[in-house]
Amino acid sequence: MSSDAVRFEASEEFARRMDAEDALRPFREEFHFPVHEGESAIYLVGNSLGLQPRKARGYVLEAMDDWQKWGVEGHFMGERPWMPYHELLTEQTARLVGAQPLEVVVMNTLSVNLHLMLVSFYRPTRERPKILMEAGAFPSDQYAVASQVRFHGYEPKDAIIGLAPRAGEETLRTEDILEAIERHGREVALVMLGNVNYLTGQAFDMAAISRAAHQHGCRVGFDLAHGAGNLHLSLHDDGPDFAVWCSYKYLNGGPGTLGGVFVHERHARDKTLPRLSGWWGHDKQTRFQMGPDFDPMPGAEGWMLSNPPILQLAALRASMELFDRATMPALRRKSERLTGYLEFLLDKLPPGFVRVTTPRDPKQRGAQLSLRFSKEPRRLLEKLNAAGIHCDFRSPDVIRAAPAPLYNSFHDVYRFAGVLERHARD
């Protein structure tokens, strides 16, 4: 059921009733919350770092015990040998992002994976040297793209086309993105966007952008840092050439944990694609023959470089099991209600106090609402912290709040709005 099918009420009784009726409510008990004055804090910053699943510690200790017991033989011995350990997450990851198992792999970190994908899918020519991306992309993406452009002998100011909102607007219009592809398509080698903008919370139409890019002969890729575990994704059907993401935000894998890669099936067996090769991406059937010639595994695994860190995989496995049980369609339905309820409560605050810059249309956003405050936003953040409410701040006046449906409640949202109201009336 979508949020517009619910008649919201600005009362604590309503919030508690919604929580009581929430089929996903038991998942909240699967996580550790920071504690404030003896109670669980209100954690609305899963878009920055997700909470720790209760099972994560046990899974990590299990791997530690295997290391203690087996030493190097742990690669092949024990209940979960390390050699194929990353494969424990493959089918879960595929379901999470709407892909085929062949198309996904958990490895490295986001920026490393982005560079690996750019090596393969940004192939500039004299006629097509350019990359089309958001002018307001997260800095890591801007740095990676600029460095790849320079690596190929171009200047970023000449080779990067930055998409910015219209004057007086804060988010990009889909028609403007498609028009830019139409206008610049002949000179663009790659369209590279974040599917959810980190600052505004705007979600882009990946299917429409992918179609338009391919119609003009461009490759297309997405950064899903704020989309994986947040949106109901359909990467295979939407058709981008690649996507990359991190797993420490909505996916609750732990600080700095492994990221993920999607490479569309149409590239699965294309051994002519340039790539930076590593031993772990070599055909697993002949890997230990130690031959001099690289023979990539089919699919996304063929971009692997090194054997993965088992302790990080173990921690991430705890969260991925929860996502697989909850399912992204169900989580997305709850997310639309949660974020819709927050928006409803914000609209009841005194006029002029706060402005939501995230699109109102649920199809154009995920869990996050970006809020611009007219009245002392830094002091407000201090008040939120003092009340045991975790959000984050982006200069000069934006507070981002992201009620994650896997562990946040309607009562969390209600209490958050109550602190905002008190600050507005001080």
pLDDT of residue 375: 80
Same-domain status, 318 and 343: no
- Write down the pTM of the prediction: 0.96
For the cut 60, the answer to whether the pLDDT of residue 227 exceeds it is yes
End-to-end CA distance of the chain: 37
Instruction: Output the domain CATH number for residue 393.
Output: 3.90.1150.10
For the cut 70, the answer to whether the pLDDT of residue 3 exceeds it is no
> What is the three-class DSSP state of 2?
coil
Any domain includes 197: yes
Question: For the residues 395-414, what does the mean pLDDT come to?
Answer: 96
- Residue 334, CA atoms < 13 Å, CB-side half-sphere: 25
CA–CA gap between residue 318 and residue 27 (Å, rounded): 12
CA–CA gap between residue 133 and residue 160 (Å, rounded): 7
Any domain includes 43: no
Which pLDDT band holds residue 184 (cuts at 50, 70, 90)? Answer: very high
Q: Which helix (H) or strand (E) holds 237?
A: helix 235-238
Any domain includes 246: yes
Same-domain status, 201 and 130: yes
pLDDT tens digits for 342-383? 999 999 999 999 999 999 999 999 999 999 998 888 889 999
pLDDT of residue 419: 93
Which pLDDT band holds residue 426 (cuts at 50, 70, 90)? Answer: confident
Q: 373 and 174 in contact (C-beta within 8 Å)?
A: no
Tokens 């405050």 identify what position?
Answer: 373
Any domain includes 44: no
Q: Which of 280, 302, 324 is where one domain is finished?
A: 324
Same-domain status, 141 and 288: yes
Q: 270 and 424 in contact (C-beta within 8 Å)?
A: no
pLDDT of residue 247: 98
Helical residues (DSSP H) of 246-404, grouped into ranges? 310-326, 328-346, 377-386
Q: Which of 271, 299, 324 is where one domain is finished?
A: 324
Strand partners of residue 40 = 35
Same-domain status, 249 and 119: yes
Same-domain status, 144 and 97: yes
Domain count across the chain: 2
Q: What percent of the chain has pLDDT over 90?
A: 95
Tokens of 393: 């701040």
Question: For the residues 196-217, what does the mean pLDDT come to?
Answer: 98
Q: Cα angle at 362 between 198 and 23, to 5 degrees?
A: 100
For the cut 70, the answer to whether the pLDDT of residue 4 exceeds it is no
pLDDT tens digits for 108-160? 999 999 999 999 999 999 999 999 999 999 999 999 999 999 999 999 999 99
pLDDT tens digits for 259-296? 999 999 999 999 999 999 999 999 999 999 999 999 99
Domain containing residue 171: 61-324
Q: 41 and 405 in contact (C-beta within 8 Å)?
A: no
CA–CA gap between residue 300 and residue 240 (Å, rounded): 14
| Exposure b/e, 175-207, CB count within 10 A at least 16 = b | eebbebbeebbebbbbbbbbbbbbbbbbbbbbe
Same-domain status, 136 and 218: yes
Helical residues (DSSP H) of 71-170, grouped into ranges? 90-97, 110-121, 139-151, 156-159
Any domain includes 251: yes
pLDDT of residue 1: 38
- Exposed, middle or buried, 57 (CB in 10 Å: 0-12/13-18/19+)? middle
User: Which residues are CB-contacts of 83 (< 8 A; sequence separation ≥ 6)?
Assistant: 75, 76
Same-domain status, 194 and 207: yes
Same-domain status, 95 and 219: yes
Question: For the residues 203-231, what does the mean pLDDT come to?
Answer: 98
34-41 CB contacts, 8 Å cutoff, 24+ apart:
34/388, 34/390, 36/387, 36/388, 37/388, 39/388, 41/388, 41/389, 41/390
Any domain includes 54: no
CA–CA gap between residue 348 and residue 10 (Å, rounded): 8
Same-domain status, 287 and 341: no
pLDDT of residue 48: 97
CA–CA gap between residue 250 and residue 49 (Å, rounded): 7
CA–CA gap between residue 101 and residue 265 (Å, rounded): 10
Distances (CA, A) of 86 to 304, 325, 395: 11, 19, 38
Question: For the residues 237-242, what does the mean pLDDT come to?
Answer: 98
Same-domain status, 222 and 359: no
User: Pairing mode, if any, of strands 130-134 and 219-223?
Assistant: unpaired
Instruction: Output the domain CATH number for residue 264.
Output: 3.40.640.10
The per-residue pLDDT of the chain, averaged, comes to 96
Q: Which of 279, 298, 324 is where one domain is finished?
A: 324
Q: 371 and 201 in contact (C-beta within 8 Å)?
A: no
Same-domain status, 245 and 143: yes
How is 54-65 classified by DSSP, letter by letter? TTHHHHHHHHHH
Same-domain status, 307 and 357: no
CA–CA gap between residue 334 and residue 234 (Å, rounded): 18
Question: For the residues 8-27, what does the mean pLDDT come to?
Answer: 98
Any domain includes 212: yes
Any domain includes 42: no
pLDDT of residue 374: 87
